[in-house]
Amino acid sequence: MEERNKTLGEFIIENQAAFQYSSGELSRIINSIRLAAKVVNYKVNKAGLVDIIGAAGAQNIQGEDQQKLDVYANEIFIQTLINREIVCGIASEENDEYITVEGNDNCHNNKYVVLMDPLDGSSNIDVNVSVGTIFSVYRRISPVGTPVTIEDFLQPGINQVAAGYVIYSTSTMLVYTTGHGVNGFTLNPAIGTFYLSHPNIQFPKNGIIYSVNEGNYVHFPQGVKDYIKYCQLEEDERPYTSRYIGSLVSDIHRNMLKGGIYLYPTSSKSPKGKLRLLYECNPMAFIVEQAGGKASDGLNRIMEIEPKELHERAPFFCGSYNMVEKAEDFMRLAKLSKY
Ligand code: AHM
Ligand code: MG
């Protein structure tokens, strides 16, 4: 069969064979995410048509509970994973605590935990701008057969066995890695099938796009201010183009295809940055690195940070390898000149 016509289902089966001693659990997790993504995609695409936008807890005219789409997406992803009894624990940006998956005696025997941001950038829904789901899979640390513990979730990103995102946009795509490169699948909505459309995605080493919320400029650290000025200089291929959707998945997806850098640094307003290390930075970092890009907190590799708490935040510099390296140079220089 021609590579371009391969479905995600076929791809998952083929790749399971490539994992020696694989029990198929990881494949079933990706399969469940594929299914949940289709359900969420259906709702996201109807968002402007039916009365589903609005505060969670309200009721629509049929008297049904009205849910915000991020609450809905959270429930769909969690229920899909729980119903299939393929993970032992789930942590979500939408939930304060992690979930221990129970249900039958066998559940604790599963090896993997899933961490996710079910609908990132959901404030964009009301204005018809693309949003995304981000997920990350780790092998548990606690012994199989016992309930999960917090340590199963507080693992550095280098321990990820899979990570991916779904982008709900002009077309819906699922992009993921299991540590063997990055592949992108586009949904054919007419028949509800994802097809391999972007095999072996490569992050261009250089780019001309920088993506940052410049409204926060005065609050940024000096190194970031200096780097932004560098991006705007008239020299070589600069000034770079500024592109910022404010939807992490979309901004990084575009930069990964075209070349560019995404920055969400610390600021005097958010001293630890805004993005969540476990649900946003680590999975995106794994994908970006697998595609040949680079992800750091401005000074250190994101995936080597030892997480201390579930919802911890981190500054995030991510994109074309050489661009991130350059931004890090500015950060280091500013730090040195401070002392
Ligand atoms: P969310 O998880 O509450 O949706 O916030 C994350 C989003 C990212 O998608 C996006 O890159 C960033 O927040 C935008 O933040 P800002 O509006 O501060 O630029
Ligand atoms: Mg988010």
CATH code at position 125: 3.30.540.10
Residue whose CB lies within 8 A of the most ligand 1 atoms, among 92, 116, 119, 120, for a mutation test = 120
Q: Is residue 128 part of a domain?
A: yes
CA distance 132 to 9: 21
Q: What is the pLDDT of residue 338?
A: 73
- Of 137, 166, 198, the one marking the end of a domain is 198
- Of 198, 230, 265, the one marking the end of a domain is 198
Task: Tell me how far the alpha carbon of residue 248 lies from the centroid of ligand 1, in angstroms.
Answer: 6
In the chain, the amino acid numbered 237 is: E
Domain check: are 117 and 239 in the same one? no
Domain check: are 232 and 314 in the same one? yes
Q: What is the pLDDT of residue 61?
A: 45
CA distance 26 to 208: 36
Task: Tell me how far the alpha carbon of residue 180 lies from the centroid of ligand 1, in angstroms.
Answer: 28
Domain check: are 188 and 240 in the same one? no
121 is in an annotated binding site: yes
CA distances 255 to 110, 298, 320, Å, are 36, 18, 8
Ligand 1 neighbourhood includes 211 CB (under 6 angstroms): no
Q: What is the pLDDT of residue 251?
A: 98
- Kindly give the number of the ligand 1 atom that is closest to the alpha carbon of 93: 2
Q: Is residue 256 part of a domain?
A: yes
Domain check: are 79 and 181 in the same one? yes
- Kindly give the number of the ligand 1 atom that is closest to the alpha carbon of 276: 2
Domain check: are 187 and 234 in the same one? no
Residue whose CB lies within 8 A of the most ligand 1 atoms, among 116, 129, 247, for a mutation test = 247
For residue 235, what are the contacts with CB-CB under 8 A and spacing of at least 6? Answer: none
Task: Tell me how far the alpha carbon of residue 190 lies from the centroid of ligand 1, in angstroms.
Answer: 31
Domain check: are 91 and 188 in the same one? yes
Q: What is the pLDDT of residue 102?
A: 83
Ligand 1 neighbourhood includes 270 CB (under 6 angstroms): no
CATH number at 256 reads 3.40.190.80
Q: Is residue 204 part of a domain?
A: no
Q: What is the pLDDT of residue 1?
A: 45
Place of tokens 């946009």: 169
Domain check: are 176 and 325 in the same one? no
Ligand 1 neighbourhood includes 248 CB (under 6 angstroms): yes
**Angle subtended by helix axes 25-45 and 69-83, to nearest 10:** 150
Task: Give the domain extent around 49.
Answer: 3-198
- Of 142, 164, 198, the one marking the end of a domain is 198
Q: Report the half-sphere exposure of 322 (CA within 13 A, side-chain side).
A: 8
Nearest to 198 by CA among 164, 226, 230, 225: 164
Contact between 255 and 262 under an 8 Å Cβ cutoff? The reply is: yes
CA distances 290 to 29, 111, 328, Å, are 20, 23, 20
In the chain, the amino acid numbered 157 is: G
pLDDT in tens, the chain (339 residues): 455 579 999 999 888 876 655 678 899 999 999 999 999 999 998 877 665 555 566 554 444 444 588 999 999 999 999 998 899 999 999 999 999 998 666 667 899 999 999 999 988 888 889 999 999 999 999 999 899 999 999 999 999 999 999 999 999 999 999 999 999 999 999 999 999 999 999 999 999 999 999 999 999 999 999 999 999 999 999 999 999 999 999 999 999 999 999 999 999 989 999 999 999 999 999 999 999 999 999 999 999 999 999 999 999 999 999 999 999 999 999 999 876
Ligand 1 neighbourhood includes 267 CB (under 6 angstroms): no
Domain check: are 44 and 179 in the same one? yes
Domain check: are 10 and 146 in the same one? yes
For residue 142, what are the contacts with CB-CB under 8 A and spacing of at least 6? Answer: 148, 149, 151, 152
Task: Tell me how far the alpha carbon of residue 123 lies from the centroid of ligand 2, in angstroms.
Answer: 10
Q: Could you tell me if residue 75 is left (phi over 0), alpha (psi between -120 and 50 degrees) or otherwise beta?
A: alpha
Q: Where are the beta strands (DSSP E) in 73-223?
A: 89-92, 99-100, 112-120, 131-139, 160-168, 172-177, 182-188, 193-198, 209-211
Domain check: are 147 and 264 in the same one? no
Domain check: are 70 and 185 in the same one? yes
Domain count, the chain: 2
Q: Is residue 203 part of a domain?
A: no
Residue whose CB lies within 8 A of the most ligand 1 atoms, among 44, 117, 210, 248, for a mutation test = 248
Domain check: are 38 and 12 in the same one? yes
Task: Tell me how far the alpha carbon of residue 120 lies from the centroid of ligand 2, in angstroms.
Answer: 4
